[in-house]
Structure 1
Amino acid sequence: MIFKKSFKVNQLVLQSIKKELQTALNTYSHPFRYFTCGTIASKTPKQRTVVLRAIEGDFKLIFYTDKRSAKVEQLRNNSTISALFYHPEKKIQLLFTGNATIVTETKELQKIWTQLSDKAKKDYTTKKAPGSTITPTDGIDYLSDRNFFCQVEIETTTLEYLKLTDSQHQRIEFTKQNDGWESQFLVP
């Protein structure tokens, strides 16, 4: 009886997570719109903030980047990735871990590119790669005939949910299986 009850609770938690992420896609002020993406570079963790652009299927998270960026090189060497979200009002933390796929040349990606505003396109058309050294007086030059736009897809393998409350925090770890998600409660 307890197992069935906890299974149902966990399914409701997964549904609420997906709903919050879907809301973030259409609400610029939603706290889950931006997340901290973690990669590994030469045995050192690297983190940066990225924008959630889409969520597909069983928590496949998608963001865009410049294919010359350090994170892309890091993911080519080690596809392990994490995505950390935090909602300060609801006091919910989500930690996704999984493997990243870098998508560079598809018709769908080209369609997305054509729908981006000119301002957004500038993020992917700089003459120098992101992270390149410049002087404070250097301007940033842009290319008009070329872009370095790509998409990173995170195939989630584990999802950790943490709800902070005044009385008792709740922490659940979800692990992706062939037939769905296996879950277990953890000490917060």
Structure 2
Amino acid sequence: MLFTSSSSEKEILSIISKQLLLGSTDARHPFRFVNLCTLDGNQPDSRYVVLREFKEDLALFFYTDSRSEKVAQINKNPNAALLFYHPIERCQVKIGGKAQIITNTELIKEHWNNVQTEAKKGYQSVLAPKTAVSQPEEGWVQELKYQSKNFSIIKVRAKQIECLQLDDEGHLRIGFNKKQEVWQSTWLVP
């Protein structure tokens, strides 16, 4: 368990922050892969992404192809939701916030330089993600110059957090809302 009914709200937020930091640095941590949900018009559109960086102000960072649908969706409507689950600790963390596409070229360059060569191939496709092709191999055609022109960073700044701790003796749920840069919490019925 990550938290109990005797944990303070401040402790719980600190525990969750620590788990998110571990998810961004440890490839084997359950919070490494997260479900990111954006809006396609009025329809939810979710997919797994990799948590690449976590900041103490509860900003979370992910990489994507700049031509992907999620980039267009975020540019139209920045509302986003993230869903994490820790199967060993039996804890679900749901984060709501505003997503933005990072445009700072220095920051993009810094992150790009940290991407391993093999992973850079994921951003080198000649065709945009989800382009229809007649044969699967057509999607593998790459510009092997390892340029960052299709590389984007998504930043989600948390505004709401909801944690559900599963426990055989009674599940626990707590919600956090950020109001004027201060986190307020409320215990909720699980």
TM > 0.5: yes
Is 2:156 the partner of 1:154? yes
| Counterpart residue type for residue 46 of structure 2 | Q
2:177 is paired with a residue whose SS is strand
* Pairs within 5 Å for 1:79-158: 79-139=78-138, 140-145=140-145, 146=147, 147-158=149-160
Shift of 1:137: 4.7
Shift of 1:179: 4.4
Is 2:52 the partner of 1:50? no
CA contact (8 A) 1:159 1:174 kept: yes
Report the RMSD for the aligned CA atoms in angstroms.
1.7
CA contact (8 A) 1:92 1:162 kept: yes
Q: Which residue is equivalent to 2:13?
A: 14
Q: Separation in 1 of the partners of 2:124 and 2:89?
A: 37
2:47 is paired with a residue whose SS is strand
CA contact (8 A) 1:100 1:153 kept: yes
Shift of 1:104: 3.3
Q: Which residue is equivalent to 2:168?
A: 166
Is 2:26 the partner of 1:40? no
Q: Which residue is equivalent to 2:25?
A: 26
Q: Separation in 2 of the partners of 1:106 and 1:78?
A: 23
- Determine what percentage of the aligned residue pairs are the same residue: 33
* Structure 1 residues 32-60: Cα deviation after superposition (integer angstroms, max 9, x where no partner): 00000000102111000000001113211
CA contact (8 A) 1:86 1:94 kept: yes
Q: Separation in 1 of the partners of 2:6 and 2:101?
A: 34
Number of residue pairs matched by the alignment: 183
| Counterpart residue type for residue 172 of structure 1 | I
| Counterpart residue type for residue 111 of structure 1 | E
Shift of 1:24: 1.7
Q: Which residue is equivalent to 2:187?
A: 185
Q: Separation in 2 of the partners of 1:137 and 1:166?
A: 47
Distance 1:137 1:30, change over 3 A: closer
| Counterpart residue type for residue 168 of structure 1 | G
Shift of 1:124: 1.1
| Counterpart residue type for residue 20 of structure 2 | L
CA contact (8 A) 1:159 1:173 kept: yes
Shift of 1:107: 0.6
| Counterpart residue type for residue 167 of structure 2 | T
Q: Which residue is equivalent to 1:77?
A: 76
CA contact (8 A) 1:161 1:172 kept: yes
* Structure 1 residues 111-137: Cα deviation after superposition (integer angstroms, max 9, x where no partner): 221222221111111100011112335
Shift of 1:105: 4.0
Bigger CA drift: 35-44 or 16-25? 16-25
TM-score normalised by length of structure 1: 0.91
Q: Which runs of 5+ in 1 are unaligned?
A: 1-5
